[in-house]
Structure 1
Amino acid sequence: MRLAVLTSHPIQYNAPWFRELARSTDMTVYFAHKATPQQQAAAGFGTAFEWDVDILTGYAHEFLRNAALDPGTHHFLGCDTPGIGARLREGNFDALLVTGWNLKSYWQGILAAKRRGVPILVRGDSQLETPRAAVTLAVKSIAYPPLLRLFDAALYVGQRNLAYWRRYHYPVQRLFFSPHCVDNFYFASRATQHSRNTLRARLGIANLTPVALFAGKLLAFKRPQDLVSAAAQVRSQGADLNVVFAGSGEQEGQLRAQAQQLGVPAHFIGFQNQSEMPAAYAASDVLVLPSSGEETWGLVANEALACARPIIVTEACGCAPDLAGDGTTGRVVPVKSPNALSAALQHILGAPPAHETIATKIALYSPEAAAAGVKDAALAVLRKDAPQS
C-alpha cells in the first residue's frame, strides 16, 4: 500500500507515529509549511527555537512549495501548495491522509485526490467542547454532515473526538481509533531518578518536597493561575507544596506576582525543549493541566503518564475522559475551580497511583496504536469495507 500524508508542518508529536507507520507502509509525508523559530515564538511558546530532537528521520518526506503571500499555519490561506496534485499523480498513491481541513493546502490535496479517485482519510482532534459562537454551531450542524462525508474514513484520537464525529452523523463503520500519543519509550527512559535529583538540586527543592508541575505555554486559556491558587490552599493545610512552571508566555509576570502574594514557592524554568522535558516530569509528583475548552487534547498529559507521573486535568481538556476519566491515573476537575483542584492535589499526593497502573493506561495511547489505526482505515477503504453512505 502506498500512502501519502499531507500535514501542515513538522510537529514533534507526529514524528513517532509517522515512523511507526513507515515501518509497514510505503508512505511519504508532505509538509505544507516549515515554521521559522520566530513563528514558533509567535505561536505562543514565548521564545524562538528549533526542536532539539530529530522529528524528520525515519520516514520519507518532502516540503512542498508554499505559495502563500503570508505563509504560516495560523490562517486558512497560510498554506497554499498547488504542487500536491502533481505529487499525488506522480506517486501513484493508493490513499491520502490529511491531518485536518482548516488550511487551503488540505483542500488542494482533497480535491486532487477526489479527481483521481484516491480514497481520503482524515485525522484530527476537534471536539464539541471547544468554544464556538451560536451562529457557527448552527451553520456547522447543517453543513458538516455532508461535508465530512467527503472523507472515506476518519481517525479519531479519543472519546471527545469520537463524539464530534458522531454528532455530525458520520457513519460509525468508517471510524477508526488512532489515539493521540507521544513516544512513550523516549520519555520513560529519560525520566530517571538521576534527572529528578539533578533538577531538584538546581531549583533548591528537597527530595521529599511535593511538586506540582505545569507544562506548556503560559497563556490565559490554560489557566495556570488556578494552580497557584490551589497550591496556596494545599499549603494552608500544612503541605510544603512547590510548583514548577515549564514553559513561557504572556502570563508569566502575573503568575510570579500571584505566587509571591500567596506565598507559594514557584519555580519558573522557562521553555523546555523536548530533550529537557523528561527531567521536568521526573522532578515532579503530579502534572496539572487546568485549561479551558480550547485545550483540544493536552499531550503533556501523555508525556507525564509516560514518565509514570499522575495527572490532574480539567473536564474541558480533550484528553480528560481517556487519560483520567476512570480515576486510575489521576483526577478530572471542573474548570475555574481552585477548590476542586486543591482537593485533587491533596488526594493524588496522599495516595498516588501505582506506576504499573499508569503504565497500563498509557500503553493504550502509543505510536504503535496510532499507526495501526491508520493502517486499518486505509486497508478498509481499499477493500471497500467502509460503507460509502
Structure 2
Amino acid sequence: MRVLVVHNQLWAHYKSRLFSDISQVFRRSYPESEFLVAQIALYEASRSVMQNDNAVVYEYPYQVLFERSLDSTATGERRKALFKVFNEFKPDVLNITGWGDMAQVQLMFYARFKGVKVVISSESSSLDHSRSSWKETLKSFIVTRANAFFCFGKTSADYLESLGVKPKDITVRKAAVVDEEVIRRNFENAKKRRAAEQTGNAARKFVYVGRLAPEKNLEMLIRAFSNVHKNADPETVNWQLLFVGDGPERQRLALLSEELKISNQVIFAGGFPWYEVPNWLAQSDVLVLPSKSEPWGLVVNEAMVCGMPVIVSDKCGCVADLVENNTNGFVFNPEKQEELEKALLFFINNPEKIKTMGAASLVKIKPFSSETVAAQMVETYKKLAKA
C-alpha cells in the first residue's frame, strides 16, 4: 500500500501531530507500506511566524515542494510539482486537502484517470461562508469524484452530504485534532507552578484565545461581561476577562473597556505561540469563543483537552460535536448578547460547576484523539488500496 497525502504547508503543528501518528500506525501495523506527505510550501504568509516554532516535531516522511510561502506559488507551478511527485511516488491512494486549490483538483482527476483511489480531507461547513448555487454545483461535481472523505466534525459532514456525498463514504467524521499530549502536559505544569506561587483568593477568569478581529465578536463579549460584572453581587463576584492574542481590534477593545469602566477587570495578554497558550488556560476557568463565523474553532478542543468548560457561539463549527448545554458549557446566538450574559452569569453564580463541567469536556473530547483519528484514516487507506 502506497499512500500520498497532499497538504498545503509544512508549518501546521496540529497536522504534523496527526501525520506523525499516521506514520506510526503504518510502521506498527503495515510496515511494508509507503507513506509520504507532499507539503506544497513551508507556510502561509499569514502564519510565517511559525517558522520559529521549535515545538513542532516532524516524525513522518515528507517532501516540501516549494521552500517559500504558499501564497507565492502559482497554480501552474503547483500543478507541475504535484504531478511530478505523484508520478514518481506512484500511490495506490491519494489524499488531497479540500477542493479550493485547482492544482489539487486537477491532480485528483488525473489520479482517478490512472485508477488511483482518492480521499478528500474537508474542513468546510455551511457556516463559514455564504454560498452561491453555481459554485455549489461545481463543488458537488468535484467532490463526488472522490472515493472517501475525512471531515472535521458533524457540520462538515453535513455539508459534504448536502453536496451529494454518500454518508457511508465519510469514513472519518471527527478529524479536528490538536496535539493533546503537548497541550495537556504544558497545562498541568503551568497549573502546578500557579498553585505553588498563588497567595490569597485569586480572581477567576473567562478567557478568549485567538485573533482580536471584528468577526470574533469581541466587542459584544466585553459589553456582556461589563453588564454581568456590574449587576452581580459585589460581595461575591471576583472575575476577570482575559484576552490571549493580538490583532487589529486590540486598541479599540482596550478603549471600550476603559469607556465601560472595567479596564481593571479586562486583561490583554498579547499573542503567544500555540504551545504557550496552555500557560494562560491554566490561569483561567472558562473559555469563551463568541465568533460570528468560525469553520471549527480548535481553541475549543484545546480548552477541553485541559478539562475546561466552554461557552461557544452557535456559528462555530465545533458546537454540534463538542458543546452540550448545561453539560460541559453553553451554546449561544452571537446576535443575542443576553444569551451570552446568561452563560457568563451561570459560572459566576455557580463556580462549583466549573470542575464537573470541565470533567464532562474531557469525556466529550476523547473521540477527537489524534491517535484514534490516525488509526481510522489508515484503515480507510487500507480498504481503498485493496478495493
TM bucket normalised to smaller: 0.7 to 0.9
1:143 and 1:256 map into 2 onto residues whose CA distance is 44
**Distance of 1:225 and 1:117 partners within structure 2:** 52
Answer whether contact 1:199 1:280 (CA < 8 A) is retained.
Answer: no
Task: Tell me, yes or no, if structure 1 residue 57 matches structure 2 residue 22.
Answer: no
- Following the alignment from structure 2 to structure 1, what is the Cα–Cα distance between the partners of residues 82 and 190? 47
Distance in structure 2 (CA, Å) of the matches to 1:154 and 1:215:
30
SS in 1 for 2:327: coil
Aligned to 1:182: 178
Give 1:146's match in structure 2, choosing from 138, 141, 151. 141
Partner of 1:218: 212
| Deviations, residues 201-223 of structure 1 (Å, cap 9, x unaligned) | 7xx99753120111001111111
Structure 1 partner of 2:126: 128
Superposed displacement of residue 310, structure 1: 1.0
> What SS does the aligned partner of 2:330 have?
strand
Tell me if 1:380 matches 2:383. yes
- Provide the C-alpha distance between the structure 1 equivalents of 2:83 and 2:270, rounded to a whole number of angstroms: 42
Give the superposition deviation at 1:376: 2.8
After superposition, the C-alpha distances for 1:176-228 in whole angstroms (9 at most, x for unaligned) are: 12420111121112113644765997xx9975312011100111111122221
Q: Secondary structure of 2:121's match?
A: strand
Residue in 2 aligned with 1:159?
154
- Select the structure that is richer in strand: 2
Unaligned runs of 5+ in 2: 27-33
State the match for 1:30 in structure 2: 38
Deviation at 1:233, TM superposition (A): 1.7
After superposition, residues 256-335 of structure 1 pair within 5 angstroms as 256-264=254-262, 265-293=265-293, 295-325=294-324, 327-335=326-334
Q: Secondary structure at the match of 2:270?
A: coil
Farther-moved stretch of structure 1 (240-249 vs 341-350): 341-350
For structure 1, the residue ranges without an aligned partner over 5 or more in a row are: 42-47, 385-389
- Equivalent residue runs for 1:215-254 within 5 Å: 215-236=209-230, 237-238=232-233, 239-254=237-252
Q: What is the rounded CA distance, in whole Å, between the counterparts of 2:322 and 2:210 in structure 1?
A: 18
The more displaced of 156-165 and 52-61 is 52-61
Cα distance 1:57–1:66, how it changes in 2: closer, same or farther (>3 A)? Answer: closer
1:250 maps to a residue whose letter is P
SS at match of 1:23: helix
| 1:188–1:56 Cα change, 3 Å | closer
- Contact residue 120 and residue 152 of structure 1 kept, 8 A: yes
Name 1:40's counterpart in structure 2. Answer: 47
Q: Which has the higher helix share?
A: 2
- % identical aligned pairs: 22
**CA–CA separation in structure 2 for the residues paired with 1:297 and 1:197:** 31
Question: Aligned residues, how many?
Answer: 368
Aligned with 2:307: secondary structure? coil
* 2:47 partner letter: Q
How far apart are residue 275 of structure 1 and its match? 2.4
Tell whether the 8 Å contact from 1:32 to 1:79 is kept in structure 2 after alignment. Answer: no
The answer to whether the Cα contact below 8 Å between 1:242 and 1:266 also exists between their aligned partners in 2 is yes
| TM-score normalised by length of structure 2 | 0.87
Alpha carbons of 1:155 and 1:326: their partners in 2 closer, same or farther (altered >3 Å)?
farther
Q: Structure 1 residues 364 and 273, CA, compared in 2 at 3 Å: closer, same or farther? A: same
TM-score of the superposition, structure 1-length normalised?
Answer: 0.87
Q: Distance in 2 between matches of 1:173 and 1:98?
A: 19
